[in-house]
């Protein structure tokens, strides 16, 4: 299946919905998914909840998220999501390469580059809105080492389900 590009995207109803799109670009396996939410929170509060990195681990099974350096996030902050039990597991290592919180009516954007041995790719969080309502877009492109491309669609589907749950839980909780 080399040399071509195929895009699969279900038609989207109007409003804030879950979308999944799987991109198969040339011979490089890639799973892409996108999650959209509208919530009754101001953009700044939605941003604060979504970028409270250690809280992500509370909503992903068997996962603990650490931040280096501790404290405020900015460009260069390193995140490590360790999934596993004891010595058996893997690290999803990420670096914040863009950090622009929402302010003065301007949407915020965070881009994470995944730099692990097993998981690579990127994730972006965009938060905008006004009048006590935030619009959230989470999009992610993931490559898993040695994953056959036939599993790209299930990987995107699983990512959408998992991170759909994480986004929902983070936005609901304090």
Is it the case that residue 12 has pLDDT exceeding 80? Answer: no
Tens of pLDDT along 138-148? Answer: 999 999 888 88
pLDDT recorded at residue 26: 41
Comparing 21 with 92, the larger pLDDT belongs to 92
Q: What is the pLDDT of residue 173?
A: 80
Architecture in CATH for domain 31-172: 2-Layer Sandwich (3.30)
- Work out the burial of residue 86: count CB atoms within 10 Å of its CB; fewer than 13 is exposed, 13-18 middle, 19 or more buried: exposed
Residue 28: the pLDDT is 54
Are 106 and 1 contacting, i.e. CB atoms less than 8 angstroms apart?
no
Task: Identify the pLDDT of residue 29.
Answer: 62
**Could you give the CA distance from residue 143 to residue 122 in angstroms, rounded to a whole number?**
9
**Tens digit of each residue's pLDDT (9 = 90 or more) over 35-61:** 999 999 999 999 999 999 999 999 999
Whole-angstrom distance, CA of residue 172 vs CA of residue 170: 6
User: pLDDT for 80-136, tens place per residue?
Assistant: 999 999 999 999 999 999 999 999 999 999 999 999 999 999 999 999 998 899 999
pTM of the model: 0.81
What pLDDT is attached to residue 19? 38
């Amino acid at each position: 299946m080399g040399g071509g590009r195929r895009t699969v995207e279900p038609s989207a109803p109007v409003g804030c919905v879950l979308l999944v799109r799987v991109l198969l670009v040339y011979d490089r396996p890639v799973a892409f998914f996108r999650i959209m939410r509208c919530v009754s929170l101001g953009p700044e509060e939605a941003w604060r909840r979504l970028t409270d990195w250690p809280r992500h681990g509370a909503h992903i099974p068997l996962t603990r998220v650490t931040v280096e350096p501790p404290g405020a996030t900015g460009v260069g902050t390193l995140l490590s999501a360790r999934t596993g039990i004891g010595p058996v597991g893997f690290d999803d290592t990420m670096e914040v390469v863009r950090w622009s919180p929402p302010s003065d009516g301007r949407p915020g954007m965070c881009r994470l580059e995944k730099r692990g041995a097993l998981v690579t790719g990127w994730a972006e969080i965009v938060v905008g809105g006004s009048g006590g309502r935030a619009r959230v877009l989470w999009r992610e492109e993931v490559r898993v080492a040695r994953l056959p491309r036939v599993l790209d669609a299930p990987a995107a589907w699983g990512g959408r389900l998992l991170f759909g749950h994480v986004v929902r839980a983070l936005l609901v909780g304090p």
